[in-house]
Amino acid sequence: MYAARVCKDCGADCVFFCETCGKDLCSVHKGVHMVDLDNANHFVILYRERNGYFIKDEYCEKHPELACKLWCDTCDEPFCDECWKEKKKDHEMHAMMEVFEAYKKYKEEFKPKIAQLRSEVLPYNRAILAGIEPDIPECEAQIAELKEKMRDKAERLKKFTLERLRVVKHLRTVPVTGVKSACHMSCKSATEFWISDKVNLVLIDQTGKKLSDVKDKLDKECGVHAVTKDGDLIYIDKKSNIRKLLKDKKDKPSTLINSKESWETLSVFCSFESDDILVGMIIHNINRAMVVRYSSDGKEKHFIECEHYTTPLFVTENHNQDVVVSNHDRNSSSVVVTNGGGEYRFSFNGPPKEPGFKPRSICVDGLSNILVYDDNSKSIVMIDVDGHYLEIFQVQQNLIQSPRCVSYSIDNHTVFVYSSSNSHVVVSRHINRQEYLGTSAFKGLVAEVGYGYEAAEVAHVDSVRIRRLKETLSQELGSTVSYLTISLHLTET
């Protein structure tokens, strides 16, 4: 007759056996036994291991139906009967033993370490766990609260961005008469603009009324005209000379710059910073192109010859004095940008994954972003001052179906886009203007969005304000904060 083994302390079913003191233990009192410092060096095993009973056979990975019976102590590798037949020659000089003997050997070897884990490490970790467990629900609640706050901030940031930074506001639509499929515009003011096709050049007001025209402009679809800071028109005539028409139109146009010998004049632009005149030129038979800078009275200052120039159809200047050229090439057209001194900065070859870029009409906005009409995709592409693609400039779909050229009025920061499908100019605004934000106002903006800011893109403001803003950011936010760039917009005057 067999008697069931029971725990010496409580009479429950025996699961463990202490080899040191010979005591039968249940699962609960096994832990109590090992925690006692008097039993620190006792070794507790499963009761079934008491008489050397091997708990579980280890089966061969190569022959899953066969148990491993041999162990190579040199290679630390088990063998079933089949594996031993295959590899016997490789292990003839190695220390071989039965798996059960190897088990007993390593069990004795690791006894002190196992005893230490059971008597010291595990109780200590259980004590730590007992102290942590009450905090888990509180931590989960705090994490959930933080997640909710992050979602709320993300939503407010998204709303802030959409409402204040990227809103394209439609202002008006102007019908255009006197031109067919216009290719270039120059804003004279917030309410008047010069617009041209291959043959005609006319002045239109905000109601669509034709105010004036020019009869002797160069017959080409490129940037053949521009407007000075004073509102005067400068344009390329049929003989490639640069002529000037005063804004009051009382006098006839006068020749400002005579054409260079052998050079064909293609494009012109008047700087709204210095009033200098930029002229794009080309010699076809030797494929040589350059941009020449003249003073406002027509005196040559210097020229830019860039190896990336092929055909400078349109030219403009950015607020940082970069010279921006819409460059035509049969193989690969691009927007080519140099600094004011003529050093090459970058080329933009079109939006990602959209081959066949064909830049034409070009301008810059108040934030120094470059707007260029792509004749391939029939869209207005926006890139930043360093040539990084930003987006396709979006206007209400029902207003513009086939854009053809783009211009920008610095007077009230509006974008003029000509639609060839209905011969209308759509006037819109994607930035606003606001006075310089002082420290308190800036704090309020930071508090509203929940993020810090590092740099400001300021529309048409001087460098002094930018420097003051950076100093404020440094003082208020510190240099170690991860900042988000913000565009400060200017209010309408």
Q: What are the chain's domains?
A: 170-429 (2.120.10.30), 439-488 (no CATH)
Measure the CA–CA gap between 492 and 470, rounded to whole angstroms. 24
The one-digit pLDDT tens for each residue of the chain (493 residues) are 466 788 888 888 888 988 888 898 898 888 888 777 777 778 788 887 777 665 577 889 889 999 998 999 889 899 998 998 888 888 888 989 988 888 888 888 887 887 788 778 888 888 888 888 888 899 999 999 999 999 999 988 887 776 655 557 888 999 999 998 899 999 999 999 999 999 999 999 999 999 999 989 999 999 999 999 999 999 999 999 999 999 887 778 899 999 988 899 999 999 988 899 999 999 988 889 999 999 999 999 999 999 999 999 999 999 999 999 999 887 779 999 999 999 999 999 999 888 889 999 999 998 899 999 999 988 999 999 999 998 888 776 566 778 899 999 998 899 999 998 889 999 998 886 543 344 444 444 444 444 333 333 333 333 444 444 445 445 544 433 333 333 333 333 3
Q: Are 368 and 331 in contact (CB under 8 A)?
A: no
Give the whole-angstrom CA distance, residue 212 versus residue 233: 11
**E strand or H helix at 464, and its extent?**
helix 463-477
C-alpha dist (Å) from residue 183 to 59, 61, 96:
81, 76, 90
Give the DSSP letter of residue 29: H
**202 neighbors 210 (Cβ within 8 angstroms):** yes
Q: What is the pLDDT of residues 98-133, one digit of tens each?
A: 888 888 888 888 878 877 887 788 888 888 888 888
Mapping DSSP to helix (H, G, I), strand (E, B) and coil, where does residue 431 land?
coil
Q: Are 372 and 361 in contact (CB under 8 A)?
A: yes
Do 208 and 177 meet the contact criterion of CB atoms below 8 Å apart?
Answer: yes
- Give which of 333, 335, 339, 303 is closest to 321, Cα–Cα: 339
Residues with Cβ < 8 Å from 358, sequence gap 6 or more?
A: 328, 333, 374, 375, 376
291 neighbors 280 (Cβ within 8 angstroms):
yes
Phi, psi of 213 (to 5 degrees): -150, 165
Find the radius of gyration of the CA atoms of the chain: 41
How far apart CA 301 and CA 294 sit, in angstroms, is 5
Q: Which amino acid is at 349?
A: N
Instruction: In whole angstroms, give the CA distance from residue 340 to residue 13.
Output: 91
Residues 332, 318 contacting (CB under 8 angstroms)? no
Structure tokens at 94: 């190695």
Helix-, strand-, coil-residue percentages of the chain, each rounded to 5: 25, 30, 45
Bridge partners, residue 282, by sequence: 264, 289
Helix axes 122-132, 135-160, angle to 10 degrees: 50
Measured CA to CA, the distance from residue 77 to residue 436 in angstroms comes to: 76
